[in-house]
Structure 1
Amino acid sequence: MKHRLIHALLLVALVLSLAACTAVAPTAPAGEAGGAGQTKTVAVVTPYMANATTKYAIEQFEKYGKAKGWNVTVTDTNADFNLLVSRIEDAVTQKVDAIVLGMGDPAQMTKGLEAAQAAGIPVFGLDAGNGPGVVLNITSDNGQLGRETARYLAEAIGGKGNVVMFTHDPHPGVRARAEAAAAEFANYPEITVIEKKHIEVPGPVDFARSVTQDLLTAYPNDGDIAGIWAGWDEPALGATQAIEAAGRSGIVVVGIDGTDFARAEIAKGGPFIASIAQDFDGMAKQLADIIEAYFNGEKPASDSVQIPGVMVTRE
């Protein structure tokens, strides 16, 4: 009798233990995919961190991402696009939750983007470009930036004269600005674009200064060059420095970005007469919000968001 009672009690204890085990659902360790409280990792890759505006935009995005609790990493390849592809592939291998292209043309990153697509990792552009494998690109309205600065320059030189353009085709935004500016200059029959010069990055200020010095030698007379249009502020600054050092008059310069140093030059009343400000802080914040929504299952309605710029002049 006593043995039967003990046996029955042991059976009851075993049943209760099994019930307790099945009642508790297993949980994934912190940090593993699907685990509660998982920290998202967003990898930013860029070839242009040496550029002041790129650096600012990425630092703002990093700030907004970290405020959302993400682990944000930033990798710069110093204009090396082959290395950029490798860094995208590294991010894929590390199984990050999203990749952000900090400027740069997606067409030069095809292999890396294909790897991200195959792994199901979303890629977003921060003033980069659109293409296969890019969920969304947020940028300025580069057509507007190019048109308005070209129009301002054209009116400043009285609608006639020779113009030089400083471009950088590897950056899709700068390329779009230059195309729009050239189209705007074509609206003025007495304006001739006599040179289009590619500006190297990094080191655009020094490079543009050297290019301008050569241009001033090739076109030595006052009136030979009426204006210089630059696709962003740094080459505009280099051109301004060369013009002032040469003591040339009658040449005006416009840039794009509305940087602090451009505003300071414009205020001086020298050759640098205008720029157009891009809202890089707004881009960074809006992209962080878009990526957060994507993580929550909300896909963007479009693959492109464009933000208008605002002219910065002496007035």
Structure 2
Amino acid sequence: MKKILAILLVLVLALGMFTACGGGADKETPADGGTKTIGFASCNLNDTFQTYVVDAATAKAQELGYKLDVQDAQEDVVKQQDQVNTMIQQGYDAIMVVPVDTAAMGPITDAVTAAGIPLVYVNRNPFGTDNPPEGVYYVGSQEIVAGQLQGQFLVDKMGTKGGVGILMGILSNEGAVKRTEGNEEVLAQYPDVKILAKESGEWQYDKGMSITENWLTAYGNDLNAILANNDGMAIGALQALEAAGRDDVIVVGVDAIPDAVNLVAEGKLDATVLQDAEGQGAGGVDVAVKAATDAAPEAVTWIDFVLVTPDNVADFQ
């Protein structure tokens, strides 16, 4: 009897050692049973381009075996901060953010890095020309280049004389500021090209349309071209011009969303600038996964802009 009890005691001790040494849950295994999660705090999913970024990110995350939790801040910076704080509390493996306001990302950056979670900003750059702090990454495009491409295309098509309106995005966004700066940088080289007006359409189709209607009333035939910070506003401008019977106004957008590419192919939109949503969304997930697995990605990943015109539009359909 004593011998049997001794054997049972040895077995119990052995089982305890097995459990302590890894027979239970691995510390690297997520608490939900195996799914690793990346939080994605989007700025505004009413912005068509942002939906393409999210779609690409979702597909890439699935490919790499991660779940993507997408939250929509609807252009509310406080709401976005709350969403990110919830992601921190839930212990996500990495967090991606498209900033509502690039100038107000300090609290998010501080909170995520303090929690030791990799943070990847996508599409809108909070750091300007500076490198992100340790543990923080950026995937996006050099926004001023989009504006420069628009401006040079316009001059090449219109000539060195004419009146231009610029439809700007939300002015707290780096993209709106830098794209407009790129427009102005090019147009300033031509004294007879006049910027008649600059107004924020907040990235929205309907506001691009209403602003253009007002410009047609205010400037009439002096309005020869419209440069829009995104395709949504450019398409809104086209609708207003079509309703007014004005097919002589050059319109150029940014993003190369499918509707805009089709309009370029139809000869209605003069040009757009491809901002690679797939490259940014998938690239952001790739960087997030590398950072979460200690693979040391580059701090900044640039995704090139490409001018889309009737000459090359077939390549983007």
User: CA 1:87/1:10 → structure 2, altered by over 3 Å: closer, same or farther?
Assistant: closer
Q: Tell me whether 1:155 sits opposite 2:151 in the alignment.
A: no
Measure, in 2, the Cα distance between the counterparts of 1:112 and 1:83: 11
Aligned equivalent of 2:9: 14
CA contact (8 A) 2:94 2:292 kept: no
| 1:120-169, Cα deviation, whole Å (9 max, x unpaired) | 12210121214466711111232221111110011211111111111122
Measure, in 2, the Cα distance between the counterparts of 1:215 and 1:228: 10
Aligned equivalent of 1:35: 29
Q: Equivalences for 1:214-229 in 2 at 5 Å?
A: 214-220=214-220, 222=221, 224-229=222-227
Q: Tell me whether 1:296 sits opposite 2:293 in the alignment.
A: yes
Measure, in 2, the Cα distance between the counterparts of 1:173 and 1:256: 10
Measure, in 1, the Cα distance between the counterparts of 2:174 and 2:24: 42
Q: Tell me whether 1:276 sits opposite 2:277 in the alignment.
A: no
CA contact (8 A) 1:164 1:229 kept: yes
Q: Tell me whether 1:286 sits opposite 2:283 in the alignment.
A: yes
User: CA 1:15/1:47 → structure 2, altered by over 3 Å: closer, same or farther?
Assistant: closer
SS in 2 for 1:143: helix
Q: Equivalences for 1:82-231 in 2 at 5 Å?
A: 82-131=78-127, 135-168=136-169, 169-201=171-203, 204-220=204-220, 222=221, 224-231=222-229
User: CA 1:25/1:275 → structure 2, altered by over 3 Å: closer, same or farther?
Assistant: same
RMSD: 2.3
How does the TM-score come out when normalised to structure 2? 0.87
Report the Cα offset of residue 7 of structure 1.
Answer: 4.0
Measure, in 2, the Cα distance between the counterparts of 1:141 and 1:86: 28
User: CA 1:11/1:86 → structure 2, altered by over 3 Å: closer, same or farther?
Assistant: closer
CA contact (8 A) 1:29 1:35 kept: no
Larger radius of gyration: 1
User: CA 1:33/1:11 → structure 2, altered by over 3 Å: closer, same or farther?
Assistant: closer
Aligned equivalent of 2:315: none
Aligned equivalent of 2:240: 242
CA contact (8 A) 2:164 2:226 kept: yes
Aligned equivalent of 1:3: none
Identity %, equivalent residues: 28
Report the Cα offset of residue 55 of structure 1.
Answer: 0.2
With a CA cutoff of 8 Å and minimum separation of 6, indicate the structure with the bigger relative contact order: 2
Count of matched residue pairs? 303
